Chain A
């Protein structure tokens, strides 16, 4: 695989992808050593990868796209260390918009990586080199970073997948900060499942990174594609082909329209305002002491940050808190929010003529996600005129990566069949993860099922959908207002419901939210007993018996008159 990667890099012939390419001999030596050792159960044994050059690799300079900043780290960033330990083979460090400030991929003294579809267009940034390395078929995955969209926008322009993990889920130690409170390392990959498998390697709590967070539950297990998706009326902000592709993606996912004005505003206000100061804070000494080493557009932006006022920051904090609350409510009703990744793909000439305007517009739909504590997948959703790829992003709340994965994968496969510009077929989808040792299968029959009002109680505790199922004949179902009660009864029928995997430790947390006469008990399904919702027969009273309908969804349909 390493030889193929080196050959693909030679054929592609774009030195601007790399800031530091390891010598072929070193790469091959690593690969041969791994081959001699054998896999030893390592998840990424022999898989070549690349790392954005604002993430440390011991023994290679970290420049963040600024030669004047270059320093030699003593240790690997933990994310890189985990990949190497998992058997992956590093090819080198990739180009970026200087200090990860930009979404265009042109703000680098190391050149502009070539857009793999049209050399007149920007590659997208800031993780330009990493995205191009995957899109060109050199490596199957690469690390980027994402603060305002740097892990998503270049994925769109390269027809590949970009996973923007939950902020704090991957240690940011060894990463040159941009906006430290909302930065994350990100993953570019050929498919959603390959991105997820890389994320399983790099994610983990790091006590030495103050922004690292402990996952509340195992959040990287893959569920099945099921979910209620929201979309927004933002077509008017996009080029027509992007708007059409976005509509098509929404139709495919049966997305429902919602209003997202607050999210768009919060991003606009923060990045045009106080949050610039966080970028400037990260690089304060350079801006103060050696501003001439900065790329002109980057310098202009960072210097703006020095003049921001703390009082404005507090206004911004309050606005942000409002947006986070809004996001919480949104993800109580929907599993995911679908947005275009970027409203358009600017040309190099357009960006040269106006270094700030097009860049600002590129972030319209990406820059609020980290601020509002969302995770998401950027996936291809089609092509525009002359084969320019178009991307969409599925966003969920923090720690929703595993739940989003099957939806994002289905979306990707509906609209794309090949990886990047390689013409190679997408790698196959992964199977949903089976019930793990620390999970309990829970049979849901009512408002906790997918898309229904209490489903968020399950998902927010880390529940993931496994399958539909039916009980043995021998149950009766009653309508207790807005939820059903199922009672074991002779002469009953089979009742349809859904089996969800819930972290066993969360069963209690769910149970306390379940009011009497409902509770949990063993339910006999066609394929064996599982824990499920049952009602005490004493509490049923004269509630209507809806057993004959066979399930709660059928009852809801009769009520809505469909």
Chain B
């Protein structure tokens, strides 16, 4: 059952939160050994909360959070070994508190790539989280456990973080609806940072209604996150079904088609066709935007971890450590120039939104690769996999635009995501378009086939 179906059943008394929680915990116990999505399961906490009674639009809905989000009583791992030595978090992160205030029930913390510097969902300390549609494949990162847990129906709702694509990539690989809201929309208070100037939190779910209801529950200013913008709440649940009449929807061309696999292009074109998006638009300087995002990420990430790189280098995932060390050596002028470029690029892209309401682009260049895969073949050319998974997500989050990733089935039998990108603060439009695609059957979260 999706989140809103569970909430309706609990609210009407057709089922109880306690029974939902028991079913959920039983399913986690059965399937998590396969998927490795969870790093902590909070059975006692969830049972106690269900017994205490829950009310609200998410009444009785089990959810889980990427383990860089604070959960009272657990050390906030952020996928690392080093943070295991941290004291347990004293309180839940703001978003956890807000979801629970809406009736949801936290059931656990989720596996992720170390310090969120990852697109694969692999983790050397906890093992890889696995793709529920083919467990030999990547869940996508860095919110891999979030994608795996929701894709495998262990929970209907999970929170992830997205710095360069970490919500949208696992949504694409695991076949989910994922929302990366506008930068500054949702509070990040109580989460472990990666690149503060690019970090976002957001939900992954199996339907647009679930995204909308959870997103509404999480909105609202929070002075505890300096990047959180003080603006009125914009509820979207009530407007989801307003359709797409009058919306100007276009596809991104150029950079956003080059390097895409046949599956990615077929999904993009299917979505474009369903939306009547016959026109295309060129997002200027997307390649440079991606490079600038890369530079800011690697330098700011290195600054965040500098002390740990000095004192505990051997406790890092070597792949993360070596990238961060390289990041510490990037010239400062390049970082500042990247921020200047970001200003320019933002202005250029915002001008596009004077003429369009939404831009479509692939979420990932390919369907989920095999775990451990290092390269992929495109147009007969072998390319490095890891640096290229985020090529289409990175230039978008770089300027904080809201995106809904929608899952589209492919001929390969695995899902792939398409990004619906809108102007800042217009999550409502992206969700309406996603809802239209969902209602028309073009986008849907495939059921996992784990049980015979």
Contact = CB atoms under 8 A, between A and B. Distances in A.
A410 B449 CA distance: 13
Contact of A244 (B30, B34, B372): B34
A241 interface: yes
B452 A254 contact: yes
A486 B371 CA distance: 55
A244 B130 contact: yes
Given A244-B34, A244-B135, A247-B33, A386 B373 contact: yes
B320 interface: no
Contacts of B35: 244
Nearest to A411: B452
Contacts of A247: 33-34
A352 interface: no
A95 to B, nearest CB: 29
Contacts of A245: 135-136
Nearest to A410: B452
Contacts of B332: none
Interface string B19-33: 000000000001101
A429 interface: no
A53 to B, nearest CB: 34
A325 B125 CA distance: 42
B451 interface: yes
B136 A241 contact: yes
Contacts of B228: none
Interface in A219-272: 235, 240-241, 243-245, 247-248, 251-254
B127 A240 contact: yes
A251 B370 contact: no
Given A383-B370, A386-B372, A410-B452, A248 B135 contact: yes
Contacts of B449: 414
Contact of B370 (A243, A244, A253, A386): A386
Given A382-B135, A382-B136, A253 B33 contact: no
B450 to A, nearest CB: 5
Contacts of A384: 136, 371-372
A387 interface: yes
Chain B residues touching A, range? 10 to 19
B378 to A, nearest CB: 18
B451 A252 contact: yes
A385 interface: yes
Contacts of A253: 452
Given A244-B34, A385-B372, A386-B373, A252 B450 contact: yes
A385 B33 CA distance: 17
- Of listed B34, B127, B130, B134, residue having the most chain A CB within 10 A: B34
DSSP class of A's interface residues: helix, strand, loop or mixed?
A: helix
A236 B204 CA distance: 31
Contacts of A414: 449, 452
Interface of A: 235, 240-241, 243-245, 247-248, 251-254, 382-387, 410, 414
Contacts of B450: 248, 251-252
A198 B34 CA distance: 34
A87 B211 CA distance: 62
Contact of B36 (A244, A251, A383, A410): A244
Given A387-B136, A410-B452, 9 more contacts: A243-B33, A245-B135, A247-B33, A382-B136, A383-B370, A384-B371, A385-B136, A385-B370, A385-B372
Contacts of B30: 251
A226 B220 CA distance: 54
A414 B370 CA distance: 17
- Report the 10 A-B pairs with minimum CB-CB distance, sorted nearest first: A385-B372, A383-B136, A247-B34, A247-B33, A252-B452, A248-B34, A386-B372, A385-B371, A240-B127, A248-B135
A234 to B, nearest CB: 12
Contacts of B31: 251
Nearest to B449: A414
Nearest to B371: A385
Interface in B348-383: 370-373
Contacts of B36: 244
Contacts of A254: 451-452
Interface string B412-452: 00000000000000000000000000000000000001111
A240 B36 CA distance: 10
12 contacts: A244-B130, A245-B135, A247-B33, A248-B34, A251-B31, A252-B450, A252-B451, A254-B451, A382-B136, A384-B136, A384-B372, A387-B136
Given A241-B371, A386-B370, A251 B135 contact: no
Contacts of B33: 235, 243-244, 247
A423 B159 CA distance: 38
A347 to B, nearest CB: 14
B126 to A, nearest CB: 10
Contacts of B372: 384-386
